[in-house]
Chains A and B, each alone.
Chain A
Amino acid sequence: MTVIEFHNVKKSFKFNTVLNDLNFTIEKDVLTGIIGRNGVGKSTLMKIIAGFIKESSGDVQVFGEHPFNSLKVSANSIFIDDTMSFPEKLNLTDILREAKRFYSNWDAPLAERLFEYFSFHPNAHYSQLSKGKKNTFNAIIGIAAHCPLTIFDEPTNGMDTAVRKDFYRALLKDYLAHPRTILLSIHHLEEIEDLLEDILLIHNGTAHFHGPITELQEMYVKLVGHPQHLPVHLTNKKVKEQKTTGLSSEAIVENKFSTEEKARLTEDGIKIIPVSANDAYLQLTKGTKGGIDDVFDRTATH
């Protein structure tokens, strides 16, 4: 069953067009990671799905309805990000109690156990919490709400390494016990790639890649070998990056090698090394302006 559908969706703000002709569908109970460089419109996209803002043109369907002003969508979804605000009068315990009234699937025992595990003080107030603690509290609400559509926009900002690890584990365990559609935008793909089923990569306002994470993990390979032996194997191949350091050359290439080609690579002493999803993502979104080194090289020559 399809939960989210985007057809030719566009979103422009006063000075720029963020999303441009965006098309994709997300199926029920899939855990999707939404990735993209800074400012590509990941948050805008997620807010359109949650019905917080309206697209400029195109067709958006969530649970079969247009999400903006849809009661069905707001009753069945939760959107977690670091701009959440709660009434100042309520302490953390009050907020959890109110959340129970708000979300029909609310798992109160789980919320309480997580609250205690992450050492929150029951009488503390939200505004007094540090950035990392605020996001941990938000994450507890996001997990315990058990919403059919759960959206996390960079939930781990400010969390320390140990808390991030605990959050990923908590999310996975709860997802296994209560499968639901989850969207998760995150900058540290390497930390969560094993947790995700699909990746939606937003680039230049479109869905640049949408598919299983394993496909992204197998998109490229790195070849490492002797500078004399490597170039022969690179003809007719899509080479994304190439460099030679002393006695060894390496190249990141599209992973399209026949069994015979692979055998010849091994015979020439060339190692075939997988490229992680995170590195593949960087290759897919590489700018046309060269790397950061080029910025400095240019000033040096002037």
Chain B
Amino acid sequence: MLDMDDAKPIYVQIAEWIEKGIIDGTLQADEKVYSQYQLAELFNINPATAGKGLTLLLDAEIVYKRRGLGTFVSPNARTKLLAKRKQDTLQKLIKELLNEAELLDVDDKQLLSMIDAERKRRESHDSH
């Protein structure tokens, strides 16, 4: 669900919520996406605002419209979103990570071993 306290405008959050569904496979290619009225009801927001969220996705060609039928997931939406996320989100996190590491005097070697340790912790967690 959406974090209503999130600082991002609500229609951006709507778009990101649908994007997340496409990335994690809940919404498959050529599958129908919620209408602006369903989104309005679901998130308790004005349908025009929900429509703006869908417009963001239409403009980015993540979804497409079929006249009279509704809005659907573009066939290449997932590939597109993964590339975008890698570039935007991951890059941003790395920047923040390096800033913090610099502030705390943590060098690359330590950083890598911390990532390694976290990965191992997860693996052992999964196997239990």
Judge whether A74 is part of the interface by a CB distance below 8 angstroms.
no
Judge whether A217 is part of the interface by a CB distance below 8 angstroms.
yes
Judge whether B28 is part of the interface by a CB distance below 8 angstroms.
no
Give the complex CA separation of A274 and B5 in angstroms.
11
Residues of B within 8 A of A172 (CB): 40-41, 44-46
Judge whether B75 is part of the interface by a CB distance below 8 angstroms.
no
Residues of A within 8 A of B37 (CB): 176
Judge whether B10 is part of the interface by a CB distance below 8 angstroms.
yes
Residues B46 and A194 in contact, CB atoms below 8 Å apart: yes
Which of the segments B47-55, B57-65, B82-90 contacts the partner chain? B47-55
Residues of A within 8 A of B40 (CB): 172, 176
Residues of A within 8 A of B48 (CB): 30, 197, 212
- Which residue, B37, B45, B46, B95, has most C-beta atoms of chain A within 10 A? B46
Judge whether B94 is part of the interface by a CB distance below 8 angstroms.
no
Given A173-B41, A176-B37, A176-B41, A194:B9 Cβ within 8 A:
no
Residues B49 and A197 in contact, CB atoms below 8 Å apart: yes
Residues of A within 8 A of B9 (CB): 214, 217-218, 274
Residues of B within 8 A of A214 (CB): 9, 11, 49, 52
Judge whether A3 is part of the interface by a CB distance below 8 angstroms.
no
- Which residue, A31, A212, A214, A218, has most C-beta atoms of chain B within 10 A? A214
Give the complex CA separation of A273 and B8 in angstroms.
8
Q: A249 CB to closest chain B CB, in angstroms?
A: 18
Q: How many contacts A-B (CB < 8 Å)?
A: 44
Q: A142 CB to closest chain B CB, in angstroms?
A: 18
Residues B7 and A195 in contact, CB atoms below 8 Å apart: no
Residue of A nearest to B40 (CB): A176
Give the complex CA separation of A195 and B46 in angstroms.
5
Judge whether A149 is part of the interface by a CB distance below 8 angstroms.
no
Judge whether A86 is part of the interface by a CB distance below 8 angstroms.
no
Give the complex CA separation of A30 and B43 in angstroms.
19
Give the complex CA separation of A96 and B5 in angstroms.
39
Write the A205-239 contact mask toward B (1 if CB under 8 angstroms, else 0). Answer: 00000001110011000000000000000000000
> 8 Å CB contacts to B: which residues of A187-211?
194-197
Judge whether B110 is part of the interface by a CB distance below 8 angstroms.
no
Write the A267-302 contact mask toward B (1 if CB under 8 angstroms, else 0). Answer: 001000110000000000000000000000000000
Judge whether B76 is part of the interface by a CB distance below 8 angstroms.
no
Give the complex CA separation of A168 and B45 in angstroms.
10
Give the complex CA separation of A173 and B46 in angstroms.
10
Residues B99 and A195 in contact, CB atoms below 8 Å apart: no
Residue B49 contacts which of A30, A169, A213, A269 (CB distance < 8 angstroms)? A213
> 8 Å CB contacts to A: which residues of B92-118?
95, 99
Give the complex CA separation of A169 and B43 in angstroms.
10
Q: B75 CB to closest chain A CB, in angstroms?
A: 29
Q: B119 CB to closest chain A CB, in angstroms?
A: 28
Residues of B within 8 A of A168 (CB): 44
Q: A217 CB to closest chain B CB, in angstroms?
A: 5
Given A217-B9, A218-B9, A274-B8, A176:B49 Cβ within 8 A:
no
Residues of B within 8 A of A173 (CB): 41
Residues A196 and B46 in contact, CB atoms below 8 Å apart: yes
Residues of A within 8 A of B47 (CB): 176, 197
Residues A31 and B7 in contact, CB atoms below 8 Å apart: no
6 additional contacts (CB under 8 A) given A194-B44, A194-B46, A197-B48 = A176-B41, A194-B10, A195-B46, A214-B9, A214-B52, A217-B9
A-B contact pairs, 20 of them (CB 8 A): A30-B48, A172-B45, A172-B46, A173-B41, A176-B40, A176-B47, A194-B10, A194-B44, A194-B45, A195-B46, A196-B46, A197-B46, A197-B49, A212-B48, A213-B46, A214-B49, A217-B9, A266-B95, A269-B99, A274-B8
3 shortest A-B CB distances, which residue pairs?
A197-B48, A194-B45, A274-B7
